[in-house]
Structure 1
Amino acid sequence: MTIGENTTTRLSAVELARLTRSGELGAAEVVQAHIAEIERLNPAVNAIVDLRPERALAAARELDRTFRSDAPHGPLYGLPVAHKDLVPAAGFRFTQGSPIFAERVADQDHLVVERMAAAGAITVGKTNVPEFGLGSQTFNDVYGVTRNPHALDRTAGGSSGGAAAALAARMLPLADGSDTGGSLRNPASFCGVVGFRPSPGRVPSWPDADPFGRLAVVGPMARTVDDLALLLSVLAGPDPRAGWSAPPAPQPYFPVPDAGRPIRLAWSPDVDGRVVVAREVRAALEPVVAALEGQGWQVELATPDLGDAIEAFRVLRALKMQLSLAPVLAEHPGRLKSDAVWNIEEGGKLDGPTIARAERTAVRIFHEMREFFGTFDVLATPTCQVAPFGIGTRYPREIDGTPMRDYLEWMGVPAAITMTGCPAISLPAATTPDGLPVGIQLVGPHLREDRLLAVARAFESAIGTGPAPEVDPTPRPAFVAVD
């Protein structure tokens, strides 16, 4: 069976995997179709870096040469992928978006790379990130800025911005990412794709400078919930090398609780007034929530008590920066971007009582969420407080006239949810009047990824997946002034 290249890249990952496993499509056909799309669109979007097409095609041809219809094939058999440039993939550059490591080549695979390869995926390159993954705007001095496929003058978000943009532009069927304060969810919202932050430990991480940290997780990105569940099934499960490691969920989709009653959704448009959400974001999402209610969902305006969650996140994030990046700063003074230096220095100021207060807050919030989900099936919030902003802007300095004190404050919604320890997913939900994607964040109970995915699938069925962008392939400058 031969499918046109343009059609091939628009098939879902689930459908592509079915066709490659059955032999109806060759792995080389699938990889070549996506490489052609990368070569056509990446000069405009700049999402995929360190592209190695010949290596990928050679691996795909080998799969085709040895294919046997009666042999077992992995769930990602023959699917092209690119890995976030914050994780090592052997033989590929591993820059972390930093000029310090611009020429470094990885000699080992991260666990997510291992698992995707074992499932049959073929690596074509890496995906772009901000320097050391800091900030929800993907630009760096190694590869330049990643543009949003929906509007090339806007940011793709970050730090998994390259992954989200590559998915939206149909250059990849699946991608991995990571998330501390929104780095899977923010770019998913900005690019109109699906980004999933699992509970800590559901997808283990190795190698990892902070193996017992609870803020940073790795997870899947895709264009649909079904595709995302496919990748999550590959990534989840324990590993003895990882600090946090939980067994996989019992099944991809937990039946929606008590099918005879409506899904119980708590809608929190601004985390009970703790954050400023742009009027255009609220205006885009309010009709979506109303539509769910119109389709039989039980919707209530409600927010768990997340008091001090954002401040606790800021403390523990600064502590993480001190742990992971202070040695880099000491060895390379003057070579890290200002946001990184500031966050590392904030970590150096922390004292025991401050850290203890943040940890006590985390404990209180964990139990608050446990009780909250005794009443509700899911908590819904805006994924981001703003719509995609210009690529020349480092971060929004204000939201509807309210100043943002630093590069963290405008991402208070996903940061607060990080502190809960609960899984969270960003789904395409709406667009602004000028066509920019707006995502909704759904949050489920701790370690109940299966239940959250069931509700997310029901949401997607009710609302849809959003429009695909038509990308102008005219090459754009990779390096722009970002202030």
Structure 2
Amino acid sequence: MTDDLAYMTGHAALKAFRSGDLNPIALMDATLARLSATEPQINAWTETWPENARRAAEAAAQRYAKGDARPLEGLPLAVKEEMRLAGTHRASGSLVFRDRVDDGTDVYIQRLIDAGAIPIGKTTVPEFTILAATHSRINGISRNPWNLERSPGGSSGGSGAALAAGATVLATGTDIGGSIRIPAACCGVTGFKPSYGRNPEIPPFNLDYYSHTGPMARSVADLALMQNVTSGQWEEDIASLRERIILSTDAPADLRGWRIGWSADFGVYEVEADVRSNMMRALEVFAGLGASVEEVDFRLPREAPRVMQDYLEHLAGAGVATALPNHRAEMTDYAIAFAEASLRSTPLMFYNANQMAAELYERFGPMMAKLDVLVCPTIGISAPPAEYSYVNDRLVFDGSERRMLQQEWCSTLLFNMFSRCPVLSVPSGHDRLGVPTGIQIVGRAYHDESPIAAGLAFEAAQPWLDRPENRPLQRL
């Protein structure tokens, strides 16, 4: 097994499968070998099914031989643990649900399986998926393959870590405050939050407009491949969009005529010097592709990050709080803190959060109408410490240790509030310690194709993970 095979993108693997240059069994063997070699050091998985996965790879090889391969035939898939897959555990990172086994499969996962992707295991999440880091009492601490003292981010942290480690080709995530994009940035991979409703979700989470399900991978093309089989209306999700957009996997020759706006911090977010400088170099790449690049004048009110967090605490926190009366002793300190915050929340706070969303978009929408995409940091740091939480919120920022609430450095949440805007996270470089940083490429409402096209052009001009020296420094 070589690193090159384990780090092959799905797009490249499918071409090789079709030409006969590669067999799905060989890719699966390389992926499972890499998974075995990097566990338990990274601790990205809650359960794996290597024997089932290899049998499925053998069946995929037969489909290619017969000429009836499906769009994702034979590609290994990591499933975020909070998502339902029949016959597997779904503890949601909590001792409270340690014994829960699902008898059904989420529509998002089923569509990937129906397209030929092969589930190989479930990936770790923080308790109740409420944190921008991934650790829990039931699964322990998940670690960043680039630096084991850092977190892979959250809440789709296990998916991000598995991708960065070469232990899967595709992965799934959910995103209510940045939970796809944060791990993508922390781990140096890609993640896409589609427009609200583009991918169907299970009720009642489909009715929360902050909530999204989406793909994670090591290339933008792979995200497009996944989106092309998962989007579209589902009869059980009233919010799912009837319109299906087929995303190209081919990079534009250039970005001539594109208008790209950017902001480093929207006037309120904390951004480390390395993150900022990496974003500026990324903007130079876009300019080199022919795009017009200019800073936008869009500043958020100082209280905006806190008000967005109020929304999450009021709605998502209410669900967590139902566990307090009977399960407090089993819960993490950060889940308890989140639940208790929800108990202090009021209807007026929730109303104010929605009122702010409406008022801010009255400025943001017309600004975006003049742009093709907007670029900003995914998060203001490279990756938090492995045990970062609401309670243990100390980190090193520009060389100095300090306390920082996650809403101070997670600019992802802004685009859950602007939920109809699709957002792609791609790697922008590394910090001075070699940990990845990321940028968000934001599209106009429901224009999912724009950030994907810009991301394809960007990754063609600035490849990542393409050579051994560009892969995680921590050799496991």
Q: TM-score, normalised by structure 1?
A: 0.89
Supply the distance in 2 between the matched residues of 1:363 and 1:461 (Cα, whole angstroms). Answer: 37
Letter matched to residue 238 of structure 1: Q
Equivalences for residues 178-193 of structure 1 within 5 A = 178-193=174-189
Alignment partner of 2:14 out of 14, 17, 20:
17
Shift of 1:409: 2.5
Kindly report which structure 2 residues correspond to 1:77-116, keeping only aligned pairs within 5 A, or say none: 77-116=73-112
CA contact (8 A) 2:177 2:413 kept: yes
Q: Distance in 1 between matches of 2:146 and 2:250?
A: 34
The equivalences for 1:219-238 within 5 A come to 219-238=214-233
Q: Name the residue aligned to 1:292.
A: 286
The one of 376, 381, 392 aligned to 1:386: 381
Deviation of 1:111 after TM superposition, in Å, equals 1.5
Single out whichever of 143-152 and 458-467 deviates more from structure 2.
458-467
Deviations 1:277-326 (A, max 9, x none): 12232233223323433443212111435435423311210122244222
> Which amino acid in structure 1 is aligned with residue 48 of structure 2?
L
Aligned Cα root-mean-square deviation (Å): 2.6
Matched, 1:419 2:424: no
Which of 196, 199, 202 is the equivalent residue of 1:203?
199
Alignment of 1:433 onto 2:429 = no
Shift of 1:258: 13
Q: 1:367 aligns with which of 333, 350, 362?
A: 362
* Aligned-residue offset at 1:65: 4.8
Deviation string 1:248-287 (CA, Å, 9 cap, x unpaired) is: 543314999998843211121111x212212232233223
Which amino acid in the other structure matches residue 424 of structure 1?
V
Distance 1:39 1:80 in 2: 14
Q: Render the CA deviation track for 1:354-394: whole Å, top value 9, x for unaligned.
A: 22222122222333332112211111111111122332443
- The gaps in structure 2 that reach 5 residues or longer are none
Measure, in 1, the Cα distance between the counterparts of 2:408 and 2:63. 51
Question: Which residue identity is paired with 2:17?
Answer: T
Tell me, in whole angstroms, the C-alpha distance in 1 between the residues paired with 2:166 and 2:250: 30
Aligned amino acid, residue 412 of structure 2: P
CA contact (8 A) 2:372 2:443 kept: yes
CA contact (8 A) 2:178 2:410 kept: no
Question: Map of 1:274-423 to 2, 5 A cutoff?
Answer: 274-307=268-301, 309-394=304-389, 396-397=393-394, 399=397, 404=403, 406=405, 408-421=406-419, 422-423=421-422
Quick one: which amino acid aligns to residue 378 of structure 1?
V
- SS of 2:37's partner is helix
Mapped partners of 2:318, 2:415: distance in 1 = 22
Residue 51 (structure 2) aligns with: 54
The 1:332/1:413 distance shift into structure 2, 3 A limit, reads: same
- The one-letter code matched in structure 2 to 1:268 is S
Q: 2:151 aligns with which of 131, 135, 155?
A: 155
What is the Cα deviation at residue 18 of structure 1? 3.1
The answer (yes or no) to whether the contact 1:185–1:196 under 8 Å persists in 2 is yes
Mean Cα deviation higher: 139-148 or 239-248: 239-248
Percent of paired sites with the same residue: 30
- Structure 1's 260 and 150: CA in aligned 2 closer, same or farther, altered over 3 A? closer
Q: Does 1:27 align with 2:18?
A: no
Q: Structure 1: give runs of 5+ residues left out of the alignment.
A: 474-483
TM-score, with normalisation over the residues of structure 2? 0.90
1:118 aligns with 2:121: no
In the alignment of these two chains, the number of paired residues is 466
Moved more, 273-282 or 127-136: 273-282
Alpha carbons of 1:402 and 1:42: their partners in 2 closer, same or farther (altered >3 Å)?
Answer: closer
Using a 3 Å threshold, how does the CA distance of structure 1 residues 260 and 440 change in structure 2: closer, same or farther?
Answer: closer
Q: C-alpha deviations, 1:328-364, integer Å up to 9, x for none? A: 2234233222222222222233333322222122222
Structure 1 counterpart of 2:153, one-letter code: G
Comparing 112-121 and 8-17, the one that deviates more:
8-17
Establish whether residue 128 from structure 1 lines up as the match of residue 124 from structure 2. yes
- Write the distance in 2 (CA, Å) between the matches of 1:289 and 1:242: 38
1:238-253 equivalence runs, <5 A: 238-253=233-248
